[in-house]
Amino acid sequence: MDNNFREINFKFGDLFKGIGSFIDLLSEMVEEDKTEFIHKGELGIGNEKGLKGIYNLSVKLGALETEKNKLPAKKRIGKKPEPIFDIFDEGEFFIIIIEIPGVSKEDLIVSLKNNNLLIIQAPGSTNQFCKEIPIPENIPDDKITWNFKNNILEVRLWKV
């Protein structure tokens, strides 16, 4: 067998059974008013070689009591969550889709750095941010188009 390829025997029924068991565990924790579950164990890996691994699973329920959570949302201090993006290779171009709430089209700056790093900035908005997205191929500076509508930014990076 090629060392770069490993066969994994995976059954969706086992996955759903595991998710169901996890949901049952959470339900039991709520019913019994428990806030924490800890389980440690050992796994057999590659039985013919006798390898073993250990695991530690910890589940906590409830809100975390931190100073940050006690402050009203507008007064919270710290980093804002970064917007999530998707990148698609469409053959002739890449499409990057990113949701950016609280920003107007006029505040957006979309540019390329070194032909392989997309930079999206909103320095003039109340939700200031800067997002850098590495691009898998070099794209010329003049081969970028973008549109922003309903808080969704769609960037097209045309390949040469």
Question: Three-state SS across 108-147?
Answer: CEEEEECCCEEEEECCCCCCCCEEEEECCCCCCCCCEEEE
Tell me: do 108 and 149 sit in the same domain: yes
pLDDT of residue 63: 59
85 membership: H or E segment, kind and range: strand 85-89
Shared-domain flag, residues 89 and 148: yes
Please indicate whether residue 60 or residue 136 has the higher confidence score (pLDDT): 136
Residue range of the domain that includes 42: 12-60
Lowest mean pLDDT among 25-39, 56-70, 78-92: 56-70
- Give the confidence band of 51 by pLDDT, cuts at 50, 70, 90: low
Q: What local confidence, expressed as pLDDT, does residue 66 receive?
A: 53
Q: What is the mean pLDDT of residues 110-128?
A: 85
Write down the pLDDT at residue 75. Answer: 46
81 and 146 co-located in one domain: yes
Average pLDDT, the chain: 76
Question: Do the Cβ atoms of 141 and 157 come closer than 8 Å?
Answer: no
Residue 1's pLDDT band (boundaries 50, 70, 90)?
A: very low
* Residues 51, 81 share a domain: no
Q: How many domains does the chain have?
A: 2
| 143 — pLDDT class (breaks 50, 70, 90) | very high
Is residue 83 domain-shared with residue 114, that is, in the same domain? yes
Judgement on whether residues 54 and 78 belong to the same structural domain of the protein: no
Q: Which residues pair with 111 in a beta bridge?
A: 119
Q: How far apart are CA 153 and CA 110, in angstroms?
A: 10
Give me the percent of the chain exceeding a pLDDT of 70.
Answer: 69
